[in-house]
Amino acid sequence: LEYALWLSINDLAPTWIQAIQSGTWKPAGHEKQLEYGLKAIEPDLASKVLARLLGDRPLPRDGSGPWIDLFGSAAGPEELRRLFDQVLAGGFDLPASRHALHALAEADRLRNVKPTGNLDPLEQLFDQPDASIRAAACRLAGGWKLTRFAPRLLALAGQTNLPEPMRQAVFFSLREMGGTEVVQGLRALCRNDRAPVIRRQAAVALAAVDRDHSMPQVLSVISTTTADTDALALWRALLGIRDIDKALVRALPASGLPEPAAKAGLRVARETGRNDTDLILALGRGGNLSQEDQGLTPAEMQALVARVQRQGDPARGEAIFRRKDVGCTTCHAIGGVGGKVGPDLTSIGASSPVDYLIESVLQPNKKIKEGYQAVLVTTRDGNDYSGILVREDERELILRNALNQEISIPKKNIESRSMGGSLMPSGLTDILSPSQRIDLFRFLSELGKPGPYDASKGNVARLWRVHTMTAGDEQNGSAWMLHVNLNQASWHPVYTLVDGRLPMAELQEQINSAVFGGPIALYAANRFQVPVAGNLVLRLTGAGYPQAWIDGNPVATGPEIHTALAAGPHTIVLRFEAKQLPAALRLASPDATFLTD
């Protein structure tokens, strides 16, 4: 159907464009159709349409309407120059400027189209007060291959106090530029006297632009990265570089890597869905590490099933399932809450025997559920990607990687594409003791059965978004937090237990993460849908009597909250003092469905 629609709009393009030029067809109220049509037809035709519709008028200062997105998806070099110049001239509000820079980056990434003329004035955006504008400008410098900015970017890359989004943008650009000057600068940034966070990103960028000659620096950084989170992130970035596995196998010493580094590498090598057998064997030399899936005999499986049923504790198993180092919640959802890399586990215990669950965890590649086989992509610019297919169109392929992140790959940049194995790494439970594995299997076996591990109903809040208010925030007032977009980075998602309780430890962790200003209070927000207008009852358990707002309006709290609401989506926000957190927060309603996105 999608392809047929694309063919039709291209066949009818001359007639449609003539209707636009004559005024017979007007875009007002048809913005989505306009956007689709301009993306589908030839870029030269789309550019003429944009020029005709806008004339000499600047784009709206506030970025309203579809125009900025249309420039990114359909405009030619002349129109992109117009967008670029309006950003440089301060012709947009701050949010619209960010939007415009993103559109310019997307035009380059997806269509390889950039503004005509001299692009060096981009440098003036490097000094803008807004950090997001500076980061976007740095990314464009790399995408547009403005190599004269390499010295400035290398200087920025060496700053230890650089905000993380800015650091990522700088190293992205250096990687895009490449060249002798960049290679020499990156090699210097890998030295032992540099901050670890700089060394790690420099090593990845160096491996991308000078793979075969970068191994001494890369192995040095790998060997000294001992923190589990940092090591996993480093390996994931490195194994996204084409043929890096072969270079590592050639360069690894016979004695292997230190055990922490080897363990992290082994886990990431297994989770890519690729058949990196040589690398897995080489990494296994770094310690007493499992190198391949260990199957169980029928007798061993029968004995293990009996132990799970007799000795397993589902509550302890749930705690293991939620551990960050195990990573189950990154890939799997329960009750619609969690990752989408692997199958939803809401009813897995009720629908599957215990031996199937055990085998699926220990040997994930033995039986892969339909729709969850990894897609392997190698790009022309030297990157490897693996993930579950989310969607694709004529311009881009969207994969969901092992971190539950959506990755957009321009189709024009794809060199090869094939099917791989499971993204769930074998050996994932190697870090668990035998008794912990039994508890985990018991928890999985209880999911979906009647009782505390049944998450099939949507009348319980399972996804909270929390914000820690600091002393600095309090000086600016707190009313703004009641109307913000809960998808903003300052609101952190937190998952409840299967029974809907959010333990104090989860809330305390958010309080402890506030490193600046001193935590004053914790705001917890939840979204829910009301099917019909009328009176609503929300049942609040374990929370006492916190301040509460629904859609920004204060409401009285207690074991039950009574209010009248219109049909549709609503947001409730609760405030807890930092030193008076609830023992366990639970919110339910017989009248509403809680949202999980």
Better pLDDT: 491 or 219: 219
Are residues 325 and 403 both part of a single domain?
no
Q: How far apart are CA 339 and CA 342, in angstroms?
A: 7
- Which run of H or E residues covers position 346? none
Q: Whose CA is closest to 451, among 281, 318, 274?
A: 318
What is the percent of the chain where pLDDT is above 90? 61
What is the percent of the chain where pLDDT is above 70? 92
Residue 455 lies in a domain: no
CATH code of the domain covering residue 324 = 1.10.760.10
Q: What's the mean pLDDT in 286-308?
A: 78
Measured in residues, the chain has a length of: 597
Q: How far apart are CA 408 and CA 398, in angstroms?
A: 5
Domain C-terminal end among 255, 284, 313: 284
Residue pair 520/470 in contact (Cβ under 8 Å)? The answer is yes
pLDDT-derived band at 532, boundaries 50, 70, 90: very high
pLDDT (tens digit per residue) in 497-520:
999 999 998 888 888 876 556 788
pLDDT of residue 1: 58
Domain C-terminal end among 227, 262, 284: 284
Directed axis angle between helix 131-143 and helix 150-157, to 10°? 130
Quick one: how many helices (H) and strands (E) in the chain?
25, 18
Q: How far apart are CA 266 and CA 541, in angstroms?
A: 43
Q: Tell me which amino acid residue 542 is.
A: G
Residue 519 lies in a domain: yes
Task: Residue 224: give the domain boundaries.
Answer: 52-284
- Residue 565's alpha-carbon distances to 52, 481, 560, in angstroms, are 46, 21, 15
Q: 404-429: string of b/e by CB count within 10 Å (b at 16+)?
A: beebebbeebeeeeeebbbbbbbbbb
Residue 293 lies in a domain: no
Are residues 272 and 157 both part of a single domain?
yes
Q: How far apart are CA 405 and CA 383, in angstroms?
A: 17
Q: Whose CA is closest to 322, among 72, 509, 530, 516?
A: 509
Residue 452 lies in a domain: no
pLDDT of residue 186: 98
pLDDT (tens digit per residue) in 239-254:
999 999 999 999 998 8
Domain C-terminal end among 224, 253, 284: 284
Q: Whose CA is closest to 45, among 15, 86, 25?
A: 15
Are residues 154 and 213 both part of a single domain?
yes
Q: How far apart are CA 410 and CA 393, in angstroms?
A: 10
pLDDT-derived band at 3, boundaries 50, 70, 90: low
Strands (E), 301-419: 333-334, 337-338, 375-379, 384-392, 396-400, 406-410, 414-419
Are residues 343 and 277 both part of a single domain?
no
Average pLDDT, the chain: 89
Residue 527 lies in a domain: yes
**DSSP string over 308-331:** HHHH--HHHHHHHHT-TTT-HHHH
Better pLDDT: 285 or 145: 145
Are residues 144 and 203 both part of a single domain?
yes
Q: How far apart are CA 186 and CA 220, in angstroms?
A: 14
pLDDT of residue 70: 83
CATH code of the domain covering residue 518 = 2.60.120
Q: What's the mean pLDDT in 471-494?
A: 72
Are residues 394 and 493 both part of a single domain?
no
Q: Whose CA is closest to 588, among 547, 513, 537?
A: 537
Supply the DSSP symbol for 546: -
CATH code of the domain covering residue 389 = 2.30.30
pLDDT of residue 514: 66
Q: What's the mean pLDDT in 40-59?
A: 73
Q: How far apart are CA 18 and CA 4, in angstroms?
A: 22
Q: Which residues contact 590 (CB under 8 A, 6 or more apart)?
A: 459, 537
**Mode of pairing for the β-strands spanning 547-550 and 568-577:** antiparallel
pLDDT (tens digit per residue) in 65-116:
878 988 888 888 999 999 999 999 999 999 999 999 999 999 999 889 999 9
pLDDT of residue 475: 61
Better pLDDT: 284 or 492: 492
Are residues 343 and 484 both part of a single domain?
no
Are residues 354 and 313 both part of a single domain?
yes
- Which run of H or E residues covers position 94? helix 94-111
Are residues 129 and 232 both part of a single domain?
yes
Q: How far apart are CA 388 and CA 401, in angstroms?
A: 7
Burial class (CB in 10 A: 0-12, 13-18, 19+), 42: exposed
Q: What's the mean pLDDT in 205-209?
A: 97
Residue 9 lies in a domain: no
Torsion, CA 86, CA 92, CA 95, CA 101, rounded to 10 = 0
Q: Whose CA is closest to 581, among 546, 538, 549?
A: 546
Are residues 102 and 247 both part of a single domain?
yes
Residue 513: other Cβ atoms inside 10 A: 11
Q: Two tokens at 433?
A: 């003791």
Are residues 194 and 75 both part of a single domain?
yes
Q: How far apart are CA 231 and CA 226, in angstroms?
A: 6
Q: How far apart are CA 42 and CA 134, in angstroms?
A: 33
Are residues 227 and 342 both part of a single domain?
no
pLDDT (tens digit per residue) in 133-163:
999 999 999 999 999 999 999 999 999 999 9
pLDDT of residue 128: 93
pLDDT of residue 248: 94
Q: What is the value of pTM for the model shown?
A: 0.79
Q: Distance of alpha carbon 372 from its chain centroid, rounded?
A: 18
Q: How far apart are CA 380 and CA 409, in angstroms?
A: 11
**Mode of pairing for the β-strands spanning 502-503 and 560-565:** unpaired
Residue 255 lies in a domain: yes
Residue pair 333/340 in contact (Cβ under 8 Å)? The answer is yes
**Mode of pairing for the β-strands spanning 593-594 and 519-530:** antiparallel
pLDDT (tens digit per residue) in 322-338:
998 888 999 999 999 99
Q: How many structural domains compose the chain?
A: 4
Residue 440 lies in a domain: yes
568 has pLDDT over 80: yes
